[in-house]
């Protein structure tokens, strides 16, 4: 491939990058909006997501369930909890 062809392709690639970024931003925004609407329409979906996040955090933590529940229930006493 000659240099001139490479330069033309590089210009086309550079011209597409902002369009792709704009399309991705639009896509991400629409995806967030749809997720929010689905959470409103199906409240159990949000609750299930919270449960999954809590369970995943618990598994990664290496702490016992009792420790985590005690931590959550006594969150207002955080200063005393870590003393």
Provide the greatest CA pair distance for the chain. Answer: 72
Domain boundaries defined on the chain: 3-81
DSSP, collapsed to helix, strand or coil, labels residue 2 as coil
Residue that has been written with the tokens 């919270």 in this structure: 50
pLDDT of residue 83 exceeding 60: no
Q: What is the pLDDT of residue 59?
A: 93
Report pLDDT digits (tens) over 60-82.
999 999 998 898 888 876 565 55
Are 27 and 35 in contact by the 8 Å Cβ rule? The answer is no
Are 51 and 44 in contact by the 8 Å Cβ rule? The answer is no
Report pLDDT digits (tens) over 17-64.
999 999 999 999 999 999 999 989 998 888 888 899 999 999 999 999
């Amino acid at each position: 491939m000659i240099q001139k062809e490479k330069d033309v392709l590089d210009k086309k690639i550079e011209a597409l990058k902002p369009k792709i970024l704009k399309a991705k931003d639009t896509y991400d925004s629409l995806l967030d909006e749809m997720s929010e609407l689905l959470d409103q329409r199906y409240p159990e979906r949000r609750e299930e997501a919270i449960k999954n996040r809590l369970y995943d955090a618990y598994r990664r933590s290496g702490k016992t369930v009792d420790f985590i529940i005690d931590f959550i229930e006594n969150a207002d006493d955080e200063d005393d909890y870590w003393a």
